[in-house]
Amino acid sequence: MKNKTVIITGAASGIGKASALLFATSGANLVVSDINEKEGEKLADEICALGGKGLFFRTDVAVAAEMEALVEFTVKTFGKLDIAVNNAGIGGEQNPIADMSIEGWQKVISVNLNSLFYGMKYQIAAMLNNNGGTIVNISSILGAVGFTGSAGYSAAKHGIIGLTQTAALEYSAQNIRVNAVGPGFIDTPLLNALDPKMKSQLVSLHPIGRLGKSEEVAELIFWLGSDKSSFVTGSYYPIDGGYLAK
């Protein structure tokens, strides 16, 4: 990864943060993005303290112009874009479809799905000027199955897989690989709002008997971003402790 330039959205915590630290310790130049400026700046400082090159750029991924600005900043700063990890997302409103608000639906689709299109639109354009690159889109196990009360989230995560496959078909011949990762329930700040009973129920859904760790998902993201996965494109990789095998 030495001198590779990497963008990671939703990098201030969880999977995004673990991925940023892994890329940074392997010699990459990082532009970490989030709406949480305090934690984002802290992560950039942590990367620099490890001897890496890390900069924070605040981005609301649901706004196309801000995603464009993120890519422009990255290319202007480091001269190119090699790897993009589109990780930012929200859980969204939890309600059955008939009770879900229009605003709740639109928000989760905007943050979790529209943002991936915006990201790839500008990331691919930059990579075409750099003789190729790699994009890793973070979907979910709920990109393969449904989940009660999470219609918007599941629809968005399914959509990410379709976007990933289409982008791979369109650009693989131009040396741009695009893949998706489908984490199971990972022990990140996204689950902090759950009470212990609900968290225990989530654990029970995974045959491996525990929730995943951000660092475990980061290893898969890192591999997909690296040249070691050079023949892999248009693929969806669950990392779920056996969730989808049931």
Mark 4-40 as b/e (b = at least 16 C-beta within 10 Å): bbbbbbbbbbbbbbbbbbbbbeeebbbbbbbbbeebb
SS3 180: strand
**How many Å apart are CA 100 and CA 151, to the nearest integer?**
9
Structure tokens at 246: 């049931």
Helix ranges, 99-241 (H): 102-109, 115-128, 151-171, 196-204, 214-225
Q: In Å, how far are 49, 76, 123, 228 from 5, measured between CA atoms?
A: 18, 11, 12, 17
Active-site entry in 118, 153, 171, 237: 153
Instruction: For residue 236, indicate whether it is catalytic.
Output: no
φ and ψ at residue 90, rounded to 5 degrees: -130, 160
Would you tell me how many other CB atoms lie within 10 Å of the CB of residue 3? 12
| Amino acid of residue 225 | G
**Closest Cα partner for 151 from 114, 104, 86?**
104
What secondary structure does DSSP assign to 38-103, as a single string? HHHHHHHHHHHHTT-EEEEEE--TT-HHHHHHHHHHHHHHHS---EEEE--------B-GGG--HH
* Residues annotated catalytic, as ranges: 153
